[in-house]
Structure 1
Amino acid sequence: MIGKGKTGNTKLVKQMNREGILYQLRQHPRLSRAELSVRTKLSRPCVSSLVDEMIHEGLIHEVGTGESKGGRKPILLEYNVQAYTVVGAVFEGSELEMAIADMKGELLHHVHTRLEQPVDGDSALEALKTNLDTLLEKSGFGRDRVIGIGVGLPGITQKRSGTVSYAPSTGWMNLPVGKEIEERLGIPVILDNDVNMMTMGEFYGGAGSGVSSLVYMYVGTGIGAGIIIDKQFYRGSKEAAGEIGYMLIGGDRLRRQGEFGVFEKNYSVTGICDKAKAAGLAVDPGRSILRQLVEQADQGSRQAGTLLEDVYVHWASGIANTVSVLDPELLILSGEMVHLSESGLTRIRELLAQWVPVLPDIQLAGLRERAGLLGAVHSVLEAFPSAQPARSSGSAGAD
């Protein structure tokens, strides 16, 4: 159990005991060695030895004295959230968001890059390296103080192995991407699907805080979902759970190798833009397509109104298929869906009420682009909770 120590002499047990001490200091700032001994159920000599070791490493600070209970005043300890640092990165289409954070998961500096199209694996790797250098310069941290980087990628990723089995937007197919990133950057890598990272971010610090089960639905250049059941992330047997972009919703159901799924091909941002152009509507690629359709419909465009209703119906179809299987407590709508007007959200709720027997609470994502970065940072903190990991290959996908 996290937060309680274990007895024994092995390296693994020592690591678990360190994590137990740090967990308690994260949950209860400013504890004495005696209080840590009680909370972790470790002996005082064991706690003192590990605490002294972590003070030397800079993970823990002594921060004054507490109230005496009859003897000497106890020395209070505090977790040093800036002992090391963590980096998060999320790719979405031609956009790359990166941030550097402290060990509490608070984002310190942020960098945004628009990648040249078409995006390929090599240009994506180079952008990661360039932005990491920028973040380190801004923050003043040395590379040796970065415990790892969490990277969110579109497509089907295998977090455990650090491979990408299907990512048509970057051309990464069945490749050990985690290892390549690790070799290029020189730091451990945690790889995951971009929507999974966003889901974790909302779960830790956004609309999903305090919720036991939720589905996070994202519409961008593709369509995907993240699934949390009983506070556990659900990935599926091949780590492809949530790939709702492959639902048979929309037009042509034929999909050639290397193409997007049927649902996302028709009702992602790209698909909706293509439909708008085909209907003779003006489209500004730099603005939300949903907002443009609403504006044009309000100005009397029958084509825009028709397409808008078509989008609502098909988005609601994807939601109905998802919630009728999973029955989540909360559904978070994100990506292009955060631009839904009150009337648009009401229309989707009306459709769902006709189609499914029980509706979850439905909310728009609150963290926007910060969700993926926060999730990427937390994926590293979960993998390396107690110290700077060894700089060696094979860290990618640590679970």
Structure 2
Amino acid sequence: MAKRDYYEILGVSKGASADEIKKSYRKVAMQFHPDRNPGDKAAEEKFKEAAEAYEILSDTDKRAQYDRFGHAGVSGNGRGPHPGGMNMDDIFSQFGDIFGEDVFGSFFGGGGGRSRGGQRTRGTRGSNLRIKLKLNYEEIAKGVTKNIKVKKYVHCNTCGGSGAKDKGSVQTCSTCGGSGQVRKVTSTFLGQMQTVTTCPTCNGEGSTITAKCNSCHGEGRVYGEETVTIDIPAGVQEGMQLNVSGRGNAGERGGMPGDLIILIEEEQHKELQREGLNVVYDLHISFTDAVFGIQAEVPTIDGRAKIKIPAGTQSGKIFRLKGKGFPAVNSYEKGDQLVHINIWTPQNLTSEERAMLEKLSHSTNFKPNPDKNQKNFFDKMREMFN
């Protein structure tokens, strides 16, 4: 099933400001929040859908790619059951950053903006990674699946990403009692005001580590290598970016990972050139071939094709091979191959060849804009070259 438009999901226009997008997301997220709709799978899916839309539209680079290429510009093999690569824990972990620490906790009675079911999401989110991926014309035209080895921070297998030496080394924070937040009540002339801030002892994680893992030294991650499978849609272009959610650097102490951003580069073809969706090929033919006409074979993205060059073809003529170009990323449109005719002029002539051509040069058929009597010209040429 095709994905819905992200702007439509949040109920905003394409020209909406960042504040308008944030405000609309807050409204939709509150409407379909699981705590408000217990057991309602349809509401949960709309909640996830809104989170995916906000994840793209709130990021300037991702939004620009989406506006230009649609869903294909921001798709990838993300993690989790959610189509955009975000699972429910990922979504809840971002609420504190989006709306402030106390909004969802106080509204729904939970343990804070980054909680779910009373359980804190530990750790710090990993950073994004950006890599370049070079593709040839055939891969761009058909789409391709690439397995890429990426050097990055990965979860520590020794401690399972917790950063602790063993389970007994993880203790509930004594300052916040595991909530990751501290509440302070102050008296003002308006009455008592309650503020909620991140716990300074555990930095909002809800727990502390008494003995660190010997492999990762308490970070919950180590520098290593991971093979990432990426589906590249057909029709991508030089400079286009694809976002693969959750495949960047692993977060510290179980924090959610960053994203992997793929920058597309085009490998130059030895014979063809790209112009948007079209492919251009320069075909050089001899003077006599232009006069008499020939059947030529030209390279295309997916093999070779035959093309008929009629008699009397002029230099600069362009022949179009319909549908032999690149597909568009976000539509069913497809480009063509344009064959530019270039007539090659001989540079080294024998005395006999020069004499024949000098004789022909006096014919009106050799002048620009020849008259309609082309038959005499072709007859003369056939006599001289046969």
TM-score above 0.5, yes or no: no
Structure number with higher strand proportion: 2
**TM-score, normalisation: structure 1:** 0.24
Q: With CA pairs under 8 Å and 6+ residues apart, which has the higher RCO, 1 or 2? A: 1
**TM-score, normalisation: structure 2:** 0.25
Structure number with higher helix proportion: 1
Greater Rg by CA: 2
